[in-house]
A = this chain, B = another copy of it.
């Protein structure tokens, strides 16, 4: 018979609701949108310009999602042609420390991976595209 399962020594996951934030930032774009709104309000087309590879469909979907959660506010401008402006709400600004932390760690990881080459997996096997050196 094998080793007994150990319960987490000090504390199991002590009620850690970061899953919500992960779900929120899930997808390739949401965090980038928040980042690009961190300085000032931006219009739909400006955001597309800031992130040239996002499609209108996805940008629209993410913005509606963030709006539904109260993280951004949408202001329709009555100009011609019409435009809409998006801004972080106070609640949305709560996400900025997370993004800041990710940016700092990202720096560090990049510099480490620059020193040592990223190890190949032990055996050939499934690795997602972003892990295969693209």
Contact = CB atoms under 8 A, between A and B. Distances in A.
Nearest to A66: B131
Contacts of A106: 16-21
Nearest to A29: B22
B22 A102 contact: yes
Interface residues of A, number: 77
A10 B39 contact: yes
- Chain multiplicity (copies): 2
Contacts of A40: 8-10
Contacts of A21: 102-103, 105-106, 109
A109 B2 contact: no
Q: Which 8 A-B pairs have the closest CB atoms?
A: A18-B102, A17-B106, A21-B102, A18-B103, A23-B130, A20-B106, A98-B101, A16-B103
Interface of A: 2-3, 5-6, 8-13, 16-28, 31-32, 35-36, 39-40, 42-43, 45-46, 49-50, 61, 64-65, 67-70, 77, 79-81, 83, 91, 94-95, 97-99, 101-110, 112-113, 116, 118-122, 125-128, 130-131
